[in-house]
Each structure stands twice: as structure tokens, then as C-alpha cells.
């Protein structure tokens, strides 16, 4: 029932509604993400900061030995994945941003250089290997579960992916010049969703959400229908996301958190 309510809310959000500002958080970050509980995460070089859904800072994490954080995957807020590309290592954190076990050096699983890393189900993770151009999934014991074919065969020379995530058993790999490549739970290429030039995106049920032109766009890759949500206070927006009934808008020096009130 809760999932059904959320789906209906997501659909109705893009039809009508008003916004109530919950908080305005002063930050100087050009990257943020959110988890399914509405918590907010920002990256500033070596530091990851977590805020609750009202915008109150909860905790921080940083590792001076591993340098700047390349990316964070909060799809599982109880097992957050941090990727350090320069050192080819990943770290898992719990919901208090405390480390779970030791850092994993990807060289130990024969990945000499990773382009992207994201979390996977059952506490595993997925790596895009820079050298082989293959997507490889590993379980929590670091055992290889599957690997895809060489993606250069379908992408060609323009192989410059910028983000990857797993959702509902599928892997979504974004290559801005090509679109979003979709792979099934065995690493088999399924299709390409031809939305180009994305810096980031969300997967919600069968919808891709992404910020573009002062609005949050929604594309349903099952029905092939598009819709959009005009943003309040839309000047100088860097990015926007949505979690349940809350809207998050990132600007150059602040994060705005709104409650979405359906009319």
C-alpha cells in the first residue's frame, strides 16, 4: 500500500501542487544527493556531510588518507558506498557515516582502474572497469557475480560515462553523448534510453527524473511519456531531486528544501 501511495504521489506531483519552504541550508557544494528516507548528502572534496529531511546537519565523514571523494551511492542508507577514484578504493559507511569494515582496494579483485562504482543488492557492488570497459558485479565476499561484454562495441570511442546506479535489478549507466544504457541482472545489455547530456538522474519506479531548464523532468521508459515539474525559485539552479513529498533544489551557495502540497 505504501508503494502504491508513493507512485500516486509521484504522478500527481507533476500535475499540480504548491510548495512550502521547509529550510534553506547554506552550503558551498556543487553536488548533492538524497536517499529514500529524505536525508541529504553533500560532498566537499574530502568531506561527506549528512543532513536530515528538514535540513539539520547530522554527521560528517572524511578520510584524509584517501583524498577527495569521487562519488557516493546512498541507495541503501544503511550501507553507503564511497568511491575514491584516485586511490582505486571504496569504503562502506553505516547510517551514522561510520565505516563498515576496512577500505576495499579494487586492485585486490583485479580491477586496476575503475571508472565508476555503485552499490548493489545483498550488500554487493558494481564496478565499471576502465581498462576492459566491462560492468562487473561483486558480492559482499568480493566474489565476481557477472561481467558484461566490452561496452566499447556499442558505444565506440565516445566512452565517457559519468554515473551509474542499480535499481530494481537493472543497472543504469549514463553516457551523456549517448544516453542511459540499461543492463539486466546478469549484466546483459537491454536497451538505451535516449536522454542525452545528463549530469545526474534518479530512477523512481518506471520513471527517470532529471533537472533541465528550470524544471524537474520526468520520463516514463515504459509508456514513453514525458512530463515536468516547474520549480519554485528557479534562478541559478544547479540540480534538483525529489523524495516522496519533498523537493530539493541546489544553488551555488544554498540548498532549498520544500514540502510539496498537492491540491
Query: Residue 2 pLDDT more than 50?
Result: no
CA distances 230 to 50, 91, 204, 233, 260, Å, are: 27, 37, 18, 10, 12
Q: Give tens-digit pLDDT for 159-203.
A: 899 999 999 999 999 999 999 999 998 999 999 999 999 999 999
How many domains does the chain fold into? 1
Q: What are phi and psi of 106, to 5 degrees?
A: -65, -20
pLDDT confidence tier of residue 44, bands split at 50, 70 and 90: very high
As a whole number of angstroms, the distance between CA 112 and CA 71 comes to 18
Q: Give tens-digit pLDDT for 53-112.
A: 999 999 999 999 999 999 999 999 999 999 999 999 999 999 999 999 999 999 999 999
- Residue 153 has what pLDDT? 86
Is the Cβ–Cβ distance between 211 and 239 less than 8 Å? yes
Is the Cβ–Cβ distance between 217 and 230 less than 8 Å? no
Look up the domain containing 173 and give its range. Answer: 2-261
As a whole number of angstroms, the distance between CA 107 and CA 89 comes to 8
CATH number at residue 79: 2.120.10.30
Q: Give tens-digit pLDDT for 222-241.
A: 999 999 999 998 889 999 99
Q: Which residue, 62, 36, 38, 37, is CA-closest to 49?
A: 62
Arithmetic mean of pLDDT over the chain = 92
> What pTM was estimated for this model as a whole?
0.91
Residue 153: strand, helix, or coil: helix
Q: Give tens-digit pLDDT for 209-224.
A: 999 988 999 999 999 9
- In 10 A of CB 27, how many CB atoms? 19
Amino acid at each position: 500500500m505504501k508503494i502504491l501511495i508513493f507512485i500516486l504521489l509521484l504522478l500527481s506531483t507533476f500535475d499540480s501542487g504548491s510548495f512550502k519552504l521547509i529550510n534553506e541550508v547554506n552550503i558551498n557544494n556543487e553536488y548533492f544527493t538524497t536517499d529514500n528516507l529524505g536525508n541529504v548528502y553533500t560532498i566537499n572534496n574530502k568531506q561527506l556531510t549528512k543532513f536530515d529531511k528538514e535540513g539539520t546537519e547530522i554527521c560528517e565523514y572524511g578520510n584524509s588518507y584517501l583524498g577527495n571523494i569521487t562519488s557516493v551511492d546512498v541507495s541503501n542508507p544503511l550501507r553507503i558506498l564511497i568511491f575514491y577514484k584516485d586511490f582505486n578504493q571504496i569504503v562502506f559507511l553505516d547510517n551514522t557515516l561510520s565505516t563498515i569494515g576496512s577500505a576495499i582496494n579494487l586492485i585486490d579483485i583485479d580491477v586496476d582502474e575503475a571508472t565508476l562504482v555503485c552499490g548493489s543488492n545483498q550488500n554487493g557492488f558494481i564496478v565499471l572497469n576502465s581498462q576492459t570497459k566491462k560492468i562487473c558485479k561483486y558480492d559482499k565476499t568480493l566474489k565476481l557475480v557477472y561481467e558484461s561484454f566490452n561496452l566499447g562495441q556499442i558505444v565506440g570511442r565516445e566512452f565517457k560515462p559519468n554515473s551509474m546506479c542499480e535499481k530494481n535489478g537493472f543497472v543504469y549507466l549514463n553516457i551523456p553523448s549517448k544516453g542511459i544504457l540499461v543492463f539486466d541482472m546478469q549484466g546483459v545489455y537491454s536497451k538505451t534510453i535516449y536522454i542525452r547530456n545528463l549530469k545526474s538522474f534518479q530512477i523512481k519506479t518506471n520513471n527517470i527524473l532529471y533537472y533541465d531548464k528550470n524544471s524537474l523532468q520526468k520520463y516514463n521508459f515504459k509508456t514513453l511519456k514525458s512530463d515536468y515539474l516547474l520549480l519554485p525559485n528557479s534562478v541559478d539552479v544547479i540540480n534538483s531531486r525529489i523524495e516522496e513529498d519533498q523537493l530539493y533544489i541546489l544553488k551555488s551557495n544554498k540548498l532549498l528544501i520544500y514540502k510539496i502540497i498537492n491540491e
